[in-house]
Structure 1
Amino acid sequence: MSDATVFVVDDDASVRDALSLLISLKGLRASVFASAEAFLAVYQKSWRGCLLTDLKMSGMSGLELQTQLQERGVSLPVVVLTAHGDVNTTRTALKNGAVDFLEKPVDDDVLMDVLLNAIRIDEERYQAVETRVELTQRLERLTPRERAVLDLLADGLQHRDIAERLSISPRTVEVYKARMMEKLQCRSLADVVRIGTQARAGKG
């Protein structure tokens, strides 16, 4: 979590200062913004952590900020903090992807638990993307025939069946399999099946 930052968006300066101080005292980095517009104007895709936004602000509201983030494909987890909560607003915020909805005043420990959970979600999303990118790079090293062998092994076919399917000899299947496993850095058939299954899911 060394790169994680809590991005605080609130039009009340006293609230921004209090939240920034609390977050810093708990060992996290905080970056504050006086409006949703100010946050969007400087947002960068490389930012990691979570967004803590007020609901009702002058200018763009917290819900409108959520919508803007969705339209831009921003996956930064959002926590909504407000003194004006109601069932419909809460439902809308959660439907728009907020990981939590808290009402002011909020207990410091509860807030930090929610923020740490949001940061954990961001880390999991980031790692999942990194894993997909790495898998894609490995798969791109395969020849069409090696990829075909991978797919058929993932389907559970034996070497003899694969040979018949591809009109090659079982020995040639072994050669393609060995090359494919080396390129994918697979140590076992289980690794091959796992990667083949992930690759097929990625196609979908």
Structure 2
Amino acid sequence: MTDRRQIYLVDDDDAVRRSAGFMLKTSGFVVEPFASGVEFLKSVDGLTPGCILLDVRMPGMDGLEVQRVLGERGITFPVIVLTGHGDVNVAVAAMKAGALDFIEKPFEKAVLLSALEEGFAQIERSDRSKARAAEAVLRLNVLTAREHEVLEGLVRGFPNKTIAYDLGISARTVEIHRANLMTKLNVRSLSEALRIAFAAGLGDTPG
């Protein structure tokens, strides 16, 4: 799928954009070039997920600054930093800030393609995780408010008696709600119910 192979090439060097863009297109990727970090950030919110090839040495706004803004906006596209010789410190800083990899110019095709494959694998893992979360949330939507509260207690590892005390109901009523929620979720064990709850993010926040 083309949307799985989208690359955003952010480099102020026109020759790099042309040569790298041509090489990537002939390798089966869809390439969208940007001549500056500012130009890229103006468009990024509306872009489909893809890998970012980001030059670190650009006038106006360097790659590290672009990376920082992406983080602030919650954009998690895999970033592969393009560096010149002697930019090791900058590359390390980019990796600490979440870059997937860095590649020195002039880069070898095999090295670049290997980094991109890992980037697209990361996107696919993220997509699968989001799909599981969305499915889990939908499944939990069939529960009543009380069943949801009982499940939250189970997520925290509480026994029925503790859940009953917290909710001001009897332990027997908790057992009934527990049985009902497992039926609605179409699961046969508590561990299956908990997996759905965790996927939906129920265990992420304390309380």
TM-score (normalizing by structure 2): 0.82
Structure 1 runs not aligned, ≥5 long: none
Query: In structure 2, how many angstroms separate the alpha carbons of the residues matched to 1:96 and 1:153?
Result: 36
Change beyond 3 A, Cα 1:33–1:188: same
Is the Cα–Cα contact under 8 Å of residues 55 and 84 in structure 1 kept in the other structure?
Answer: no
After superposition, the C-alpha distances for 1:72-99 in whole angstroms (9 at most, x for unaligned) are 2211111101224433212211111111
Is the Cα–Cα contact under 8 Å of residues 142 and 183 in structure 1 kept in the other structure?
Answer: yes
Change beyond 3 A, Cα 1:36–1:164: closer
Instruction: Give the 5 Å matches for 1:80-99.
Output: 80-99=81-100
TM-score (normalizing by structure 1): 0.83
Deviates more, 1:125-134 or 1:15-24: 125-134
Number of equivalences: 201
Partner of 1:11: 12
Change beyond 3 A, Cα 1:47–1:108: same
After superposition, the C-alpha distances for 1:31-54 in whole angstroms (9 at most, x for unaligned) are 111111111112235511110011
Is the Cα–Cα contact under 8 Å of residues 12 and 34 in structure 1 kept in the other structure?
Answer: yes
Is the Cα–Cα contact under 8 Å of residues 67 and 97 in structure 2 kept in the other structure?
Answer: yes
Partner of 1:70: 71
After superposition, the C-alpha distances for 1:144-168 in whole angstroms (9 at most, x for unaligned) are 32123324444274x6x57865643
RMSD: 2.6
Instruction: Give the 5 Å matches for 1:44-193.
Output: 44-45=45-46, 47-154=48-155, 155=157, 157=159, 161=161, 165=165, 167-168=169-170, 170=172, 172-173=173-174, 175-193=176-194
Helix, strand or coil for the counterpart of 2:50? Answer: strand
Change beyond 3 A, Cα 1:52–1:203: same
Partner of 1:202: 204
